[in-house]
Amino acid sequence: MPRNDGVRWDEFFMLGDPVERRALRIASRNLDREESLSIRRGGEPARTVVARPTHGTQLRDFLWPSSIVPVVVRERVVDLLTSEGLTGWRTYDVEVFDRDGIRLPEFVGFQVTGHVGAVPDPPVDGGPAYFDFDVETWDGSDFFRPEDSGTWFISPRAERALRAANVRNVSVRPIADVERPYLLREPHLFLRLVMRAGADVAPALETLRETLAGLDGLHPVAVADRVRHADGPKREAVIVHIVGDREPVIEAYDRLRRITADGWADADNGERDTSWELTRTGKPFLTGVLSARLAAFDEGAGHPLR
């Protein structure tokens, strides 16, 4: 274990998906969930990973998955990391195809193999914390991840190399600026209300209140400020958070499946003005603070209330 005297956790960076709308997004076609989680956490794939597009069209230096894996990079990124002598990563065999079914041979799978000890547990129902890991448990790699986690961290010199080379479609943020999620003890649901920009949200929220009427054991519903939706400037989204006792939350989920399927129609032209999307839930799992970050859920979250 290297000595890390004088190094502080807040000098490092988090490496992640910037959620660029136009960038090609891919999904594996020959891995089950356990294999995907193993690869994300540094396990060596047992076979070549096959990936096909799910969203977007533009090729970038990093391509990110719709689910857990694979993360793939162009060979120029591999050449950059090698020439800079950066450590804590490796590649693996992938077959990536574009929307026309043409293989993209310039991409390889990318893994982070460096490690640091487990990040302390976040507060329970107590608001955000930070990724303040113990630097004495860091193995000294430029790319590394906490124990039992798919979160990726990088060193300052790795950040400088990526920035200087203008590597595209990757988010690099100082760890000190990234709020950790907090843990919810109770069952909960998240809804995303998607609407045309400027649409009146009040009728949709009134329908939500009517749908949940008579359910004892639900806490007050929290509604976040509207934000721009990933589909572009013509769409906005509002996140709604519902938490409570197990049985009423299960009943709420059953009721909400109906309105998420139906949506609402605009009275003037018959086009959909607003619609609900029922998103991930668990008992419990990690979420971000109530904001636009709720769109990025913990990779380990499973089927609602399983």
State the DSSP string of 58-86: B--SEEEESSS---EEEHHHHHHHHHTT-
Q: Does a structural domain hold residue 303? A: no
Matching residue, tokens 């079914």: 101
pLDDT value at position 15? 95
Q: How far apart are CA 193 and CA 240, in angstroms?
A: 8
Asked if 45 contacts 91 with a C-beta cutoff of 8 angstroms, the reply is no
Pair type for strands 114-116 and 94-96: unpaired
pLDDT value at position 305? 24
Matching residue, tokens 């969930």: 33
Q: How far apart are CA 64 and CA 71, in angstroms?
A: 5
Q: Same domain, yes or no, for 166 and 285? A: no
Q: Does a structural domain hold residue 143? A: yes
The runs of H, that is alpha helices, within the chain are 33-40, 75-83, 156-164, 202-212, 246-262
Which among 177, 195, 220 is the end of a domain? 177
Q: Does a structural domain hold residue 301? A: no
Which among 139, 162, 177 is the end of a domain? 177
Q: Does a structural domain hold residue 3? A: no
Enclosing domain of residue 220:
184-295
Q: Same domain, yes or no, for 160 and 227? A: no
| Residue 162 to residues 15, 62, 169, 178, Cα–Cα distance (Å) | 10, 11, 11, 19
Q: Same domain, yes or no, for 151 and 274? A: no
Helix, coil or strand: residue 293: helix
Q: Same domain, yes or no, for 230 and 98? A: no
Asked if 119 contacts 133 with a C-beta cutoff of 8 angstroms, the reply is yes
Q: Does a structural domain hold residue 300? A: no
Amino acid at 129: A
pLDDT value at position 272? 44
Q: Does a structural domain hold residue 228? A: yes
pLDDT value at position 289? 27
What mean pLDDT is reported for the chain?
75
Q: What DSSP designation does 273 have?
A: -
Q: Same domain, yes or no, for 237 and 152? A: no
Q: Same domain, yes or no, for 173 and 202? A: no
> What is the count of structural domains for the chain?
2
Q: Same domain, yes or no, for 152 and 200? A: no
Q: Same domain, yes or no, for 75 and 106? A: yes
For residue range 68-87, list pLDDT tens digits in order.
889 999 999 999 999 999 99
Which among 151, 177, 203 is the end of a domain? 177
Q: Same domain, yes or no, for 172 and 191? A: no
pLDDT value at position 90? 96
Q: Does a structural domain hold residue 302? A: no
- Residue 269 belongs to a domain with what CATH number? 3.30.70.2690
Task: Give me the residues of the chain with pLDDT under 70, please.
Answer: 1-5, 122-128, 148, 180-188, 190, 192, 220-235, 237-239, 257-306
Q: Does a structural domain hold residue 258? A: yes
Q: Same domain, yes or no, for 57 and 151? A: yes
Specify the long-range contacts of residues 199-203, CB closer than 8 Å, at least 24 apart. Answer: 199/236, 199/273, 199/274, 201/226, 201/238, 201/274, 203/264, 203/274
Q: Same domain, yes or no, for 189 and 275? A: yes
Strand blocks (E) in 150-234: 152-154, 171-174, 182-183, 188-196, 222-223, 227-228
Amino acid at 57: T
Q: Same domain, yes or no, for 99 and 248? A: no
Pair type for strands 114-116 and 143-146: parallel
